């Protein structure tokens, strides 16, 4: 009788743990602007690309003394990220006087995946919400 009670206790605790874990995953995906597991994977990839482009932009600034366009970064091999990760396309905006930059991922096409229209990261490596 004691073994059965112990086994049932373990099963119940594991069930509660799995339930809480699934709720946490759902809430973190929603916070990132994704409404499905595939959308969450896409957003994670896009954020990784944005960080890589922003890091390349900082390296470019360190050697060239100015921020460059996405074309500059690609042509000088500072970044090997593609110009897009469907359904997002990437762009770099450099502020006047080369005082800062913003790397932007803009969703193209219809929003069938439940992802945000735009994500961006600035020279401080801070993600900004869609404008």
Q: The domain that contains 38 carries what CATH number?
A: 3.30.700.10
Query: Is 13 among the domain residues?
Result: no
Q: 41, 20, 25: which is closest to 114 by C-alpha?
A: 41
pLDDT band at residue 122 under the 50/70/90 scheme:
very high
Query: Is 117 among the domain residues?
Result: yes
35: Cβ contacts below 8 Å, ≥ 6 apart: 29, 113, 114, 115
CA distance 10 to 111: 43
Query: Is 27 among the domain residues?
Result: no
The answer to whether residue 85 scores a pLDDT higher than 70 is yes
The tokens for 68 are 């460059």
User: Which structural domain range is residue 120 located in?
Assistant: 32-128
Query: Is 72 among the domain residues?
Result: yes
Query: Is 25 among the domain residues?
Result: no
Indicate whether this model's pTM tops 0.75: no
Q: Which whole number is the average pLDDT over 97-101?
A: 84
Report the pLDDT value the prediction gives residue 29, as an integer from 0 to 100: 47
The answer to whether residue 84 scores a pLDDT higher than 50 is yes
The structural domain count of the chain equals 1
Query: Is 109 among the domain residues?
Result: yes
Where is pLDDT greater, at 98 or 90?
90
Query: Is 95 among the domain residues?
Result: yes
The tokens for 59 are 């390296």
The answer to whether residue 48 scores a pLDDT higher than 50 is yes
Q: How many CB atoms lie within 10 A of CB 87?
A: 18
Query: Is 66 among the domain residues?
Result: yes
Where is pLDDT greater, at 39 or 56?
56
Report the pLDDT value the prediction gives residue 31, as an integer from 0 to 100: 46
Report the pLDDT value the prediction gives residue 99, as an integer from 0 to 100: 84
């Amino acid at each position: 009788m004691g073994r059965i009670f112990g086994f049932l206790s373990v099963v119940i605790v594991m069930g509660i743990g799995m339930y809480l874990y699934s709720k946490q995953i759902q809430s973190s995906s929603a916070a990132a602007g994704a409404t499905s597991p595939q959308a969450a994977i896409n957003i994670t990839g896009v954020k990784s690309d944005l960080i890589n482009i922003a890091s390349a932009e900082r390296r470019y600034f360190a050697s060239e003394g100015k921020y460059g366009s996405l074309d500059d970064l690609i042509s000088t091999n500072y970044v090997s990220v593609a110009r897009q990760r469907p359904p997002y396309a990437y762009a770099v905006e450099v502020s006047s006087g080369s005082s800062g930059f913003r790397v932007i991922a803009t969703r193209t096409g219809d929003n069938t995946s439940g992802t945000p229209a735009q994500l961006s990261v600035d020279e401080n490596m801070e993600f900004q919400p869609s404008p």
